[in-house]
Amino acid sequence: MEFEWDEAKRLAVLEKHGIDFNDLDGFFDGDVLFLEAKSDVEPREKAVGWTGQLWIAVIFTRRGGRIRLITARRARENEQRAYRSTYN
């Protein structure tokens, strides 16, 4: 799976949420709950999962066989519950 992102956005997410897009490569290989994400711009998805250290939600879109990362943040409680109800 190939990833791409806007470097300025990666730095902004790292500063605001402490999550680096560079560290998300293996995230999509594990048990991840995929949900629809709201966007007026393009179809987007949300991936919710546990990294082994923290719950995160990653917003992304699929473009030409690649995953374009939009943002990442700590997963909200309702997102964690949805994940647990699916995988536990």
Q: What whole-number distance in Å separates Cα of residue 73 and Cα of residue 13?
A: 8
Q: What whole-number distance in Å separates Cα of residue 18 and Cα of residue 38?
A: 23
Give the model confidence (pLDDT) of 30-74 as tens digits: 899 999 998 998 999 999 999 988 999 999 999 988 999 999 999
pLDDT averaged over every residue in the chain: 94
pLDDT higher than 90, residue 88: no
Give the model confidence (pLDDT) of 24-41 as tens digits: 988 999 899 999 998 998
Looking at the domain that runs over 2-87, which CATH code has it been given?
3.10.450.530
Q: What whole-number distance in Å separates Cα of residue 81 and Cα of residue 52?
A: 16
Q: In what order do the strands lie in the sheet with 55-63?
A: 2-4, 66-74, 55-63, 44-50, 33-37
For the chain, give every domain's residue range.
2-87
| CA 15, chain centre distance (Å) | 16
pLDDT higher than 80, residue 1: no
Residue with tokens 């048990």: 31
Task: Say what the pTM is.
Answer: 0.93
